[in-house]
Amino acid sequence: MIAERPRTRFTRLRRLRGAGALRGLAAETRLSPGDLIYPLFVTNGAGVRQPIEAMPGCYRRSVDTLIETVAEAAEAGVRTILLFGVPDAKDAEGSGAWAPGEAVQQAVGAIKKAHPAMAVVTDVCLCEYTDHGHCGVIGPNGEVANDPTLELLARTALSHARAGADMVAPSAMMDGQVAAIREALDDEDYGSTPIMAYSAKYASAFYGPFRAAAGSAPQFGDRRAYQMDPPNRREALAEIRADIAEGADMVMVKPALAYLDVIAAARASFEAPLAAYNVSGEYAMVKAAAANGSIDGKRATLELLTGIKRAGADVIITYHAIEAGRWLGEG
């Protein structure tokens, strides 16, 4: 008599988890290198490659060494970069932000010449260029003056468009900044230049490594009077709605990991392309935990980025872009 073999019952869901290829077929969320934007810090000079201590693998670079990094990004399948300037000198207005000879403006032209297929986005803000570290000019009451700042942001965006930027990204969180930039671009025959608005940018504790890298920490006070308060979600939707009405072509939630609910709410409410910024502090935490052996850095990084995509982001701005692009390319 042949003994009856015990039967193991598998549900349809578990059967599709058995092999990697099948898991891929059943995947609901797909992350690819083309979904990623790589942020880069560019400074003046030549041969500059200064490591950023709190952000392993990230550097302040001069234009010549930056081109090498852009080549690495392209090889990893990343098709878009975001430029931040680190100037030599600062003043109260942040006039270096719109100077044609500054590092960002020079980098745009150099990148477009060396890698014409790479899309170049430029951050439009004053904080890296002001001697007080705030995102706008300081009024007589000691607070950031909204309307005088708009003119300077528009001037900065125009300088980037003239240099050849594919898209400009205002991040100062001034009321009306998208409208001011859209009008300035249109008036100067740059109507085809799109705007990616930092629409829901929160006053977050996760920006510390970036501010050290860019030298943009406020010299007094903080930015809570113009960046969003972390408890608020409905306000984020109002900010996004306003930016779309003013002419934003793409909108953003920043940071990403503590604001996945905001990303999901924005995706459910608006049809505009949605970006999420996986910011410097989020990157630094992963790197620190991986360095001390607490987590598998590769798996954790891809899991976090997939989570941001699953929440509804079309595009993810992340310092992990090159390594993640390479890992994704491995299959």
Active site residues: 201, 254
Give which of 210, 42, 222 is closest to 134, Cα–Cα: 222
- Alpha-helix residue ranges (DSSP H) falling in 219-274: 234-246, 260-269
User: CB-based contacts of 141: which residues, under 8 Å, 6+ apart?
Assistant: none
Q: How far apart are CA 214 and CA 25, in angstroms?
A: 42
Give which of 248, 97, 221 is closest to 163, Cα–Cα: 97
Tokens read off for 135:
């995102």
Q: Is 269 left (phi over 0), alpha (psi -120 to 50) or beta?
A: alpha
Residues in the chain: 331
| Helices H / strands E in the chain, number of each | 12, 10
Interior angle at CA 321, CA 317 and CA 323, nearest 5? 160
CB atoms within 10 A of CB 69: 19
